[in-house]
């Protein structure tokens, strides 16, 4: 596994659990607002902004060795409950099942973060009982998806992943980062239709005070708290639970 970063302790990334976060390197999206550009573009040098987030983030020239990661995780047995595998996009890596199995063999629960572009990889993990919680990003309404993610998407793959998650029997969440200039309030209903009947959907104002994949968005204004509350009310019409996070 190509590991681009490690956050040793988190109280919020896996609901109800103390967790470490492992960042895989590389992504097939180029979301303008992504605040892990050194993972999306591994040759890009991380800045002091990344250190402020408390994450030990590697670059294309300085990845974290898998052996070092597992030495660290062995010291956290009985001290944390879980490991979050995020990215980048973890499902790009063909050795993901083997990697997660090593984590599970240490006794940790595993949460997977994904952009939903590889439904077969997700199904393989579910068939092997290798994940315990799933989070998928819903980037925008389908007519805007390519614009938001900076890449061409396969709508059918995203819909298949959404359906697989909803039918998985596992706890899961969908989440959306909402960015002025890319999203409008009216988009929330269209996005809600995509995941209608889901358990949870979290709406997130974007962070603009760090280095981004597209620094044209750096220090741009986020939606106001009142705007986010309006979107939350719209989102509640489509899912069991919707909250601004």
Domains assigned to the chain = 3-244 (3.20.20.70)
Percent of the chain beyond pLDDT 70?
91
Q: Residue 44 — pLDDT band, cuts 50, 70, 90?
A: low
- Length of the chain in terms of residues written: 245
Mean pLDDT of 79-99: 96
Output the CA angle 198-199-200, nearest 5 degrees.
Answer: 100
Distance CA 116, CA 119 (A): 6
- For 185-238, what is each residue's pLDDT tens digit? 999 999 999 999 999 999 999 888 888 898 888 889 999 999 999 999 999 999
Using the structure block, give the residue that is written with the tokens 């940790």: 108
Residue of 40 and 52 predicted with greater confidence:
40
Q: What is the Cα 80 distance to its own chain's centre? A: 20
> What is each CA distance from 90 to 102, 129, 131, 178, in whole angstroms?
15, 17, 13, 22
Q: What is the Cα 111 distance to its own chain's centre? A: 10
Mean pLDDT of 63-84: 92
pLDDT of amino acid 58: 41
Q: Is the pTM of this model over 0.85?
A: yes
- For 117-168, what is each residue's pLDDT tens digit? 999 999 999 999 999 999 999 999 999 999 999 999 999 999 999 999 999 9
**Residue 64 pLDDT > 70:** yes
**Residue 57 pLDDT > 50:** no
pLDDT of amino acid 52: 43
- For 126-140, what is each residue's pLDDT tens digit? 999 999 999 999 999
The per-residue pLDDT of the chain, averaged, comes to 90
pLDDT of amino acid 243: 97
pLDDT of amino acid 38: 83
Q: Residue 48 — pLDDT band, cuts 50, 70, 90?
A: very low
């Amino acid at each position: 596994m190509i590991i681009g970063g490690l956050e040793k302790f988190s109280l919020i990334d896996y609901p109800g659990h103390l967790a470490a976060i492992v960042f895989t390197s590389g992504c097939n999206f180029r979301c303008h607002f992504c605040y892990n550009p050194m993972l999306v573009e591994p040759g890009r040098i991380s800045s002091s902004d990344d250190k402020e987030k408390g994450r030990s983030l590697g670059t294309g020239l300085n990845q974290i060795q898998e052996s070092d990661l597992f030495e660290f995780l062995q010291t956290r047995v009985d001290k944390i409950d879980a490991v979050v595998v995020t990215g980048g996009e973890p499902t790009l890596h063909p050795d993901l099942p083997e990697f997660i199995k090593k984590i599970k063999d240490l006794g940790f629960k595993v949460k997977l973060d994904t952009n939903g572009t590889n439904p077969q990889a997700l199904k393989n993990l579910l068939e092997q009982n290798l994940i315990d919680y799933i989070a998928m990003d819903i980037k925008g309404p389908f007519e805007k998806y390519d614009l938001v993610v900076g890449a061409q998407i396969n709508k059918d793959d995203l819909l298949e992943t959404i359906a697989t998650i909803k039918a998985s029997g596992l706890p899961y969440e969908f989440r959306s980062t909402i960015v002025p200039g890319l999203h409008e309030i009216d988009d929330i209903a269209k996005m809600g239709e995509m995941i209608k009947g889901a358990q949870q959907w979290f709406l997130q104002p974007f962070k603009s005070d760090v280095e981004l994949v597209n620094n044209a968005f750096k220090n741009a204004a986020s939606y106001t708290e009142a705007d986010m509350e309006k979107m939350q009310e719209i989102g509640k019409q489509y899912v069991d639970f919707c909250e601004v996070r």
